[in-house]
Structure 1
Amino acid sequence: DPRPYNGSGVAELLRPMGTAPCLLKTKDWWTYEFCYGRHIQQYHLEESEIKGDVLVLGYYQAAFDWGDETGKASKQQQLRRYHSQSYVNGSRCDLTGRAREAEVRFLCEEGAGD
């Protein structure tokens, strides 16, 4: 029987990210900028300068609510092994004509326990 977790909640553990600098990740041509609770952007950097358009992948909308009944059931059944945030109303996609959107998932390290 697993022991119940009595530590800090997900929102409390992530709170320091709200005042932390944005996270950057460059993969091939694109640099991705994730600003917790604010926005996600993508752009091309050359010699530390942005070249071309800045594409907004989404603005923060909401985080999964672990306090509601659905969240409690999901947590108890351990169906969700991540915490998610929704980012919406980004730049218009040329292919679909719709605003870009993204989901950010915070995962626990595999094998680290609950």
Structure 2
Amino acid sequence: METVDPRIHFALNCAAESCPAIAAYSADVDAELADATALYLERTVEHDTGRLGRSVVRVPRVCLWFRGDFGGAAGVRRLLREHGLLGADERPRVRSLEWDWSRRVGRFREDAGE
């Protein structure tokens, strides 16, 4: 692979509570990764106002752990804009959510929903 596709982080699962749901992938993996990314981001991303009134967006911890894959904070904001989770002019601080390592097995994605 010559380029990194950060969407893979929304498809991998280590059986922790914070992981995306498990899904089977087919030859149409590009569309399926797009769906997995959209579903996981919609389920997890949070917006709030931080200290001093500045907007803060909290994203899954994998966006911090693998920030190079996403292109840093600017790349994370770009990804959120692509999925309609940030407005074109919004430049919030990017923070990560806590990762829940509690074991959770058996959460499978069915069709288009989690």
TM-score (norm 1): 0.22
Q: Please identify the structure whose Cα radius of gyration is greater.
A: 1
Which one has the bigger helix percentage? Answer: 2
TM-score (norm 2): 0.22
Task: Return the structure number with greater relative CO, CA threshold 8 A, min gap 6.
Answer: 2
Which one has the bigger strand percentage? Answer: 1
